[in-house]
Amino acid sequence: MNDLPDVLERLATRLETLERRVYLLEHHSEAPSTPLALDVCPPQTAEALPFALAGGAFSVLGKAMLGIAGAYLLRAVTESTSLPKPAIAALAIAYAMLWLAGAARMPAGAWFATIAYACTSALILAPMLWELTLSFKVLTAVESAGVLGAYVCLAYALAWKRNLTSIFWVAIVTAAAVAFALSLATREMTPFTSALLLMALLCEYAELRNHGLSVRPLVAIIADVAIGSLLYIYSSPQSERGDYPILGTPALLVPAFTLFLIYGASAVLKTMLLKWKIGAFETVQTMAAFLLAALSLLSFEPRGGAFALGGLCLLFSAAGYAAVFACFRQAPERRNERVFATWSAALFLAGSGLCLPTSWVAPCLVMAAIAASFLGVSLNRRTLEFHGLVYLLAAAVASGLLEYVFHALAGTLPGAPAWSVCLVTACAVLCYAARKSGQGEALSQQLLHLVSAALAIGAVAALLVKGLAWVTALSVNPGAHHLAFIRTLTICATVLALAFSGSHWQRVELTRLGYAALALVAAKLLFEDLRQGHLEFIAASIFFFAITLIAVPRIARMGKNQLRKL
């Protein structure tokens, strides 16, 4: 009897130890970091931990299977009883959302249970919503899209506070996939596209708030494909659409423009207000959204769509250039400036071609080329210089200058040049003269100067050929051999002028163009002059070519000697 208190004390200690072990097994996700837990746990606890984890995983999977069994029970009730199907459908939807809420209530370290219960919710909702919409006809397309939107909003709200990425990922991937599939299966594309746009908006808002909830690329791709499918289906003839309902022009235009508004506004807020560096995803997705909006406008509003789109392009181009000068010019990171400037240049070219009269396109591009070139030189912005060259090349194409140069130097001699050809030629010379050339330039800068000089020199040479042919026509009727000699003489004179200018003003691109033109003269002698059969003109052409070959290296060395003296 005297040992009874000691026995009771040992029994109480043993019972307390067992209770703590049971607690550790049931709460294996919580690390036993307290000193008491370390004192109580025997050495075998480290070996028993995998069994605790296995038991917890099996328990979670078992509960998940019970949840799926409950979903099958609700389906059986829907199929076999006379109870109101809308009430059962509402119960089934609430049942799936309760599992999502249960996943959000798991402890912070219970990641396996969180993912398992979220997947259970998705596995309950997706087939159930498919059957309620297509098999049982309980939900309309609008109601199903509303359920998907509510499901994503619930996941967004549950995951927001604790930044539960897994819950939001599972919910939004499931909802996006089901929305796209139901849009094709039900032939009702508008409500499900609206649900996808809501998902895209939630993802962009989460990104703006620095939450790691976003599954943006996948949602953006699904939304792009859905709107592209809408565009493809409804731009086809009515007889090929099958059971798709008839939609008005606003219903067809709103999805694509809403998508562009979401990603365009997101890109502007991140770069201009938050001062973030624009990423590859934002750049590509904003462009894709704009192209979808542009194609929708051109397809569904063919009468005034092109003019309206051109006006929007010019407006966005002006806004983009304003952002470049107001927000990005002083920033140390140059990517935002380059991206917005490139967008602005592309929009200006598109807008000029869409909404301006044909006779106005070349002059407007010429003015833009002069402005961009001079601003690029004065502000030391290579991007603007490149845009000036792009505008100049576009003006050359629009005015017919490139075609005129080709025919004047190699093909059938054209007639008198149009005023637009002369205007673009003068602009090319002016823009090249404004650019500063120096030693040690980057390859891109050298290429920029080379193309600019080639356009200016080619245009001037073509006009010289036309002028000399006109002067020759005053005394004799020029034939093919006359034209061949005039071209050879003009190109040789141009080569000498290039060699002298390049060596005198230290513009290496002019010297390079001179050597390239020598190769052109050699090919021209072989394929044009020698085929004409007039020996005196052939001899004269060869003579001028030989003189040019001798003089060009000497003139180039003169420029190098001057540079060494300096």
Reduced to 3 states, what is the DSSP secondary structure of residue 515?
A: helix
pTM surpassing 0.85? no
Q: Are 396 and 425 in contact (CB under 8 A)?
A: no
Helix/strand/coil (H, E, C) string of 392-404? HHHHHHHHCHHHH
pLDDT attached to residue 241: 84
DSSP state of 417: P
Mean pLDDT of 48-60: 58
pLDDT at 43: 42
Neighbours of 455 (CB within 10 A): 25
CA angle 415-421-426, nearest 5°? Answer: 130
Tokens of residue 28, six digits: 């294996």
pLDDT of residue 122: 96
**388 in a domain, yes or no?**
yes
Residue 44 confidence class, pLDDT cut points 50, 70, 90: very low
Torsion of the alpha carbons at 510, 514, 516 and 517, rounded to the nearest 10: 130
Q: What angle do CA 456, 459, 461 make, to 5 degrees?
A: 105
The predicted model gives 244-266 an average pLDDT of 95
Pair 424, 373 in one domain? yes
Q: What share of the chain is helix, strand, coil (3-state, %, to 5)?
A: 80, 0, 20
* Mean pLDDT, residues 416-441 taken together: 86
User: How far apart (Å, rounded) are the C-alpha atoms in residues 202 and 378?
Assistant: 43
Q: Does residue 431 fall inside a structural domain? A: yes
**145 Cβ partners below 8 Å, 6+ apart?**
179, 182, 191, 192, 194, 195
Residues 366 and 352 in one domain: no
Asked whether residue 311 falls in the same domain as residue 403, the answer is no
Give the residue from 423, 439, 468 where a domain finishes. 468
In angstroms, the CA 120 to CA 124 distance is 6
Q: Is 242 left (phi over 0), alpha (psi -120 to 50) or beta?
A: left
pLDDT of the residue at 439: 61
| Interatomic CA distance for residues 477 and 149, integer angstroms | 80
Residue 564 has pLDDT above 80, yes or no: no
pLDDT band at 559 (very low <50, low <70, confident <90, very high): low
Mean pLDDT of 277-288: 95
pLDDT over 70 at 469, yes or no = yes
What is the C-alpha radius of gyration for the chain, rounded to an integer number of angstroms? Answer: 37
Positive or negative, the CA dihedral 15, 17, 20, 24 is: negative
Domain boundary (356, 381, 398) is at 356
More confident residue, 516 or 212: 516
Mean pLDDT over 549-562 rounds to 77
Is there a single domain that holds both residue 254 and residue 308?
no
What is the C-alpha separation between 537 and 484, in angstroms, rounded?
A: 8
Residue 153's pLDDT band (boundaries 50, 70, 90)? very high
Residue 491 shares a structural domain with residue 433: no
Are the CB atoms for 203 and 156 separated by under 8 Å? no
Dist CA 319 CA 514 (whole Å):
41
Q: What is the CB-side half-sphere exposure of residue 561 using CA atoms within 13 A? A: 7
pLDDT per residue over 381-390, tens digit each? 888 999 999 9
Q: Cα 10–15–17 angle (5° rounding)? A: 95
pLDDT of residue 54: 41
pLDDT tens digits for range 312-324: 999 999 999 999 9
Pick the last residue of a domain from 468, 497, 517.
468
The rounded distance, in Å, linking the Cα atoms of 384 and 373 is: 6
Same domain for 545 and 427: no
Q: Per-residue confidence at 5, pLDDT binned at 50, 70, 90?
A: low
Residues 145 and 281 in one domain: yes
* Cα 486 to Cα 563: distance, rounded to the nearest angstrom: 34
Residue 102: partners with Cβ closer than 8 Å, 6 or more residues away? 117
Instruction: Work out the burial of residue 287: count CB atoms within 10 Å of its CB; fewer than 13 is exposed, 13-18 middle, 19 or more buried.
Output: middle
Exposure class string for 412-446: b at 16+ Cβ within 10 A, else e: ebbeebeebbebbbebbbbbbebbebeeebeeebe
Looking at the structure, do residues 180 and 242 belong to the same domain, yes or no? yes
| Alpha carbons 127 and 125: distance in angstroms, whole number | 6
Looking at the structure, tell me whether residues 392 and 536 fall in a common domain: no
Between CA 140 and CA 142 the distance in angstroms is 5
In a domain, 13, yes or no: no
**Residue 180 shares a structural domain with residue 217:** yes
Our measurement of the distance from residue 516's CA atom to the centroid of its chain's CA atoms, rounded to an integer in Å, reads 38
Residues 6+ apart with CB under 8 A from 407: 413, 414
Rounded Cα distance, 402 and 466, in Å: 15
User: Domain check: are 197 and 273 in the same one?
Assistant: yes
Residue 19 resides in a domain? no
**Full residue range of the structural domain in which residue 263 is found:** 64-301
Helical H segments across 135-243, by residue range: 141-160, 165-186, 189-208, 216-234
| Residue 29, domain member (yes or no) | no
208 and 294, same domain (yes or no): yes
Tell whether 275 is covered by a domain: yes
- Asked, for residue 22, whether it belongs to a domain, the answer is no
DSSP assigned state of 272: I
Length of the chain: 566
Q: Which of the residue ranges 109-113, 206-210, 240-244, 403-407 has the most confident prediction, judged by mean pLDDT?
A: 403-407
Residue 425 is assigned to a structural domain of this protein: yes
- Domain count of the fold of the chain: 4
Mean pLDDT of the chain, nearest integer? 87
For residues 339-358, give the mean pLDDT.
Answer: 95
**Each residue's pLDDT tens digit, 220-236:** 999 999 999 999 999 99
